[in-house]
Structure 1
Amino acid sequence: MPVCRICGGTLSEFVDLGAQPMGNAFVSPQDPDDDAASFRFRLAVAMCEACTMVQLVDDVQHDQMFHQGYPYRSSGSSVMRAHFEALARRFLAQDLTGTDPFIVELGSNDGIMLHTIAKAGVRHLGVEPCGDVAEVGRANGIRVRSEFFDENLAADVLAQDGPADVIFAANTFSHIDFLDSILRGIKNLLAPDGVFVFEDPYFGDIVERASFDQIYDEHIFFFTARSVQDMAARFGLELVDVELLPVHGGELRCTLAHTGARPVSPAVTELLAEEAAQGLTEPATLSRFADAVRELGDSLVTLLRELRAQGKRVVGYGATAKSTTLLNYCGIGPDLVSFISDSTPEKQGRLTPGTHIPIRGPEAFADPYPDYALLLAWNHQEEILRKEAAFREAGGKWIHYVPDVRVE
């Protein structure tokens, strides 16, 4: 029986999204049945009855998910570029002010955050196991090691570069099943007054919005202030600050420090109280979430079938990893969504994992405009709606499904 990856406690499963492919296993039309395309695992989520950590019941080996051809590029969104530039400047102003400061980023992707750090002349290191995306960072002047971070790599970095004033991870920490080794490495690498800052999808937002497509193979853990506080304490660290972020559909930014090294912000106490008041980890809340997932999926499929019966043309917008969960759970294929428009060159010309919907470049979206567009990249909604204002002006309508199914 699976046990909690953090404390070894009993897991209580509350939602099962069925047999799913890997979220980013986009398929070549020439070889639609290759090993990566045919791989499936049971996408089920559980909560630990002891430490309340929400996590996948099963997971995929990390070297299957994060590999040489990993397609995601953080710099593809202007909103995320601005987000990470602002954070880098905050680090420079608040935490990287001493003599010869040093920052390490876990999962540095294409160097979007460290680019600002490097331009400021601050010592830095990106740890990015995905080879192709790491090369983009190097081409932009970022110092990168193409390895998985663990306690052994942390010891090597400490010996070569000394302690880190800041260790940062964005949409990375929740992706790693061996957090024990990661946290031991962070504990050893972190300077006495240093901070480990990470931001990942917030379970509270997922429950509130029924955004079940945030659940896919790469997201192994779903954090709350309560579960992070418990996890940190087990490794000699302390949760000293929290911040709710609007990016990526709702994220939690956590700041950890050595136990007793920094005062605990009132924001931590406030969020813990909010989570308790909401009953965020109560069985009844989790059961209502599972019900909402089923209702949302049924409503979306019903709408798409009605539009097909009316002869309407529907395309998708944004071939995201999260859309893999939605499309496969709902059984949405090219009969309901003719193709998906996406700006990532590495995805264009391929097929969606499991459902084999063609992916085309942005120019296909307006050639001609469809009757309806299913907004799969809903976490970038404001940016997309501004960019595609002409679609609405031409009479097109957007289909939304978070937090409910609606047409606008």
Structure 2
Amino acid sequence: MTRCRLCGSTALESVVDLGATPPCESFLAAERLDAPEPTYPLHLRVCTDCWLAQIPPLITPEETFSEYAYFSSYSSSWVEHARVFVEDAAARLGLGEDSFVVEVASNDGYLLRHVVDRGVRCLGVEPSVNVGAAAREAGVPTLTAFLSPETGAAVRAEHGPADLVVANNVYAHIPDVIGFTQGLRALVADDGWVSVEVQHLLTLIEENQYDTIYHEHFQYYTVASAIRALASGGLTLVDVELLPTHGGSLRLWARPEEAAGEPSGRVADVLAREKAAGLQELSGYTEFSARVAKVRRDLLRFLVEAAEEGKTVVGYGAPGKGNTLLNHCGIRPDLLPYTVDRNPYKHGRYTPGTRIPILPPDRIAADRPDYVLVLPWNLRAELVEQLSYVHEWGGRLVFPIPELSIVEVER
């Protein structure tokens, strides 16, 4: 990568180099285990002109999202998060029967189904054929397409301008951030609102959340860099919320620049926090690589010692972030014989690169392991409750991020 994809600068500095890994959602069917598996460098850099953190666009969204293994509805807490958002947005913006809501990257309809339930007209724009089909089966109108300025204009011409455009956990997944932002502007009414949720680079750095760096996450935002990205498409940030989701996320409220007005005090507050953390100078990034290396050493030490003591360790979850962690640490079935996942799509498949089998969740109760390594650590509260049954045989949960933590659960 020679130039920043947002501002075009060549002033890119290394933040952390995680080696080369396969794309994190390319789960392997059994018949592919003897076939070659492509890997790509995973090296995070930051632009010292606009402070957008980014990785090179070595894979395309079409390769990742045309058929996708992630279905949002399998996370109960995420569905509840979406329900609360819809309820709050409806009250904040006065959404009613005459309103129109569009969600970009609407997945399986996990959020828009709450809009449908309120009797508000809506449309999902979802590139993945398989999850878009699931949304339509659930009664959520869904267009199979990637968002571009042309797609946004076509949707607006057919359905009218949107009072609210939602883009949750997609703004990092688009290498053409300027074109995507122009697509958002094409969708939204001139006096409408755009709500974007994206992981916050501040918490990624502070909490060692390096496993959220993977090839389908092309960029990593602060409020400062998000302001510049939104402006590239004619949108102005007017408010921001700090959310606990995904280990720490931003909810960015933006409007067309001509309708924006003055930003809220919360925008200035978060900008000040980012500046205090050194994220607008290189000093805020220099120690991250060393802290990442310690996460790796601590997890490997635990797994090796458990194996030498005859203890059994299995995984819970097969999220994309887990595959960054497993590959960076070099964890194979000798240290983690399998992981489980609630998503039937992944059952019988294998994790990319590390080739760890993915089984149904009931395998844990059948095998009664000593430890369960929780890979979707961002769902900690939900999963401590879901996995409380491991207490029956004295099992314990292990969380690798932000630092190794072994938890005894109680019913």
Q: Considering the TM-score relative to the shorter chain, is it more than 0.5?
A: yes
| Superposition TM-score, scaled by structure 1 size | 0.96
Conserved in 2, the CA contact under 8 Å of 1:96 and 1:102? Answer: no
Q: Deviations over 1:175-197 (max 9, x none)?
A: 01112111112223321221111
Per the TM alignment, residue 260 of structure 1 is displaced from its structure 2 partner at its CA by 4.7
Is 1:373 the counterpart of 2:369 in the alignment? no
Which letter does structure 1 place at the counterpart of 2:99? P
Per the TM alignment, residue 297 of structure 1 is displaced from its structure 2 partner at its CA by 0.5
Conserved in 2, the CA contact under 8 Å of 1:343 and 1:362? Answer: yes
Matched residue SS, 1:5: coil
Per the TM alignment, residue 235 of structure 1 is displaced from its structure 2 partner at its CA by 2.8
In structure 2, what is the equivalent of residue 208 of structure 1? Answer: 206
Per the TM alignment, residue 226 of structure 1 is displaced from its structure 2 partner at its CA by 0.6
What does 1:308-387 align with in structure 2 at a 5 Å threshold? 308-387=307-386
Per the TM alignment, residue 406 of structure 1 is displaced from its structure 2 partner at its CA by 2.6
In structure 1, what is the equivalent of residue 111 of structure 2? Answer: 113
In structure 2, what is the equivalent of residue 22 of structure 1? Answer: 23
Per the TM alignment, residue 132 of structure 1 is displaced from its structure 2 partner at its CA by 0.9
**1:138 and 1:99, CA in 2 relative to 1: closer, same or farther beyond 3 A?**
closer
**1:34 and 1:172, CA in 2 relative to 1: closer, same or farther beyond 3 A?**
farther
Per the TM alignment, residue 234 of structure 1 is displaced from its structure 2 partner at its CA by 3.0
> Could you tell which deviates more after superposition, 97-106 or 239-248?
97-106
In structure 1, what is the equivalent of residue 32 of structure 2? Answer: 31
Identity %: 37
| Superposition TM-score, scaled by structure 2 size | 0.95
Q: Distance in 2 between matches of 1:158 and 1:253?
A: 24
Which letter does structure 1 place at the counterpart of 2:70? Y
Which letter does structure 2 place at the counterpart of 1:9? S
Q: Distance in 2 between matches of 1:138 and 1:394?
A: 42
In structure 1, what is the equivalent of residue 163 of structure 2? Answer: 165
Q: Deviations over 1:160-212 (max 9, x none)?
A: 11111111111111101112111112223321221111111111111111010
Conserved in 2, the CA contact under 8 Å of 1:59 and 1:220? Answer: no
Matched residue SS, 2:157: helix
Conserved in 2, the CA contact under 8 Å of 1:96 and 1:166? Answer: no
Q: Distance in 2 between matches of 1:285 and 1:394?
A: 44
- List alignment gaps of at least 5 residues for structure 2: none
In structure 1, what is the equivalent of residue 234 of structure 2? Answer: 236
Which letter does structure 1 place at the counterpart of 2:66? H
Conserved in 2, the CA contact under 8 Å of 1:13 and 1:57? Answer: no
Matched residue SS, 1:346: helix
Which letter does structure 2 place at the counterpart of 1:234? S
Which letter does structure 2 place at the counterpart of 1:24? E
Which letter does structure 2 place at the counterpart of 1:250? G
Matched residue SS, 1:4: coil
Q: Distance in 2 between matches of 1:165 and 1:266?
A: 24
> Could you tell which deviates more after superposition, 18-27 or 386-395?
386-395
Q: Distance in 1 between matches of 2:183 and 2:137?
A: 28
**1:124 and 1:99, CA in 2 relative to 1: closer, same or farther beyond 3 A?**
closer
Which letter does structure 1 place at the counterpart of 2:16? V
Per the TM alignment, residue 369 of structure 1 is displaced from its structure 2 partner at its CA by 1.1
- List alignment gaps of at least 5 residues for structure 1: none
Q: Distance in 2 between matches of 1:34 and 1:185?
A: 38
Q: Distance in 1 between matches of 2:382 and 2:15?
A: 34
Q: Distance in 1 between matches of 2:18 and 2:315?
A: 21
Residue number among 184, 189, 193 corresponding to 2:187 in the alignment: 189
Q: Distance in 1 between matches of 2:27 and 2:150?
A: 32
**1:406 and 1:60, CA in 2 relative to 1: closer, same or farther beyond 3 A?**
same
Per the TM alignment, residue 34 of structure 1 is displaced from its structure 2 partner at its CA by 4.2
Instruction: Give RMSD over aligned pairs.
Output: 1.4
Matched residue SS, 2:345: coil
Which letter does structure 1 place at the counterpart of 2:289? A
What does 1:16-95 align with in structure 2 at a 5 Å threshold? 16-34=17-35, 38-68=37-67, 70-95=68-93
In structure 2, what is the equivalent of residue 291 of structure 1? Answer: 290
Aligned residue-pair number: 405
Conserved in 2, the CA contact under 8 Å of 1:45 and 1:54? Answer: yes
Matched residue SS, 1:169: strand
What does 1:241-260 align with in structure 2 at a 5 Å threshold? 241-260=239-258
**1:293 and 1:193, CA in 2 relative to 1: closer, same or farther beyond 3 A?**
same
Matched residue SS, 2:346: coil
Is 1:264 the counterpart of 2:263 in the alignment? yes
In structure 1, what is the equivalent of residue 5 of structure 2? Answer: 5
Conserved in 2, the CA contact under 8 Å of 1:105 and 1:168? Answer: yes
**1:99 and 1:320, CA in 2 relative to 1: closer, same or farther beyond 3 A?**
closer
In structure 1, what is the equivalent of residue 390 of structure 2? Answer: 391
Q: Deviations over 1:280-299 (max 9, x none)?
A: 24322212111100111111
Conserved in 2, the CA contact under 8 Å of 1:319 and 1:359? Answer: yes
Matched residue SS, 1:354: coil
Q: Distance in 2 between matches of 1:71 and 1:322?
A: 13
Per the TM alignment, residue 383 of structure 1 is displaced from its structure 2 partner at its CA by 0.9
**1:129 and 1:58, CA in 2 relative to 1: closer, same or farther beyond 3 A?**
closer
Per the TM alignment, residue 96 of structure 1 is displaced from its structure 2 partner at its CA by 4.7
Q: Distance in 2 between matches of 1:320 and 1:188?
A: 32
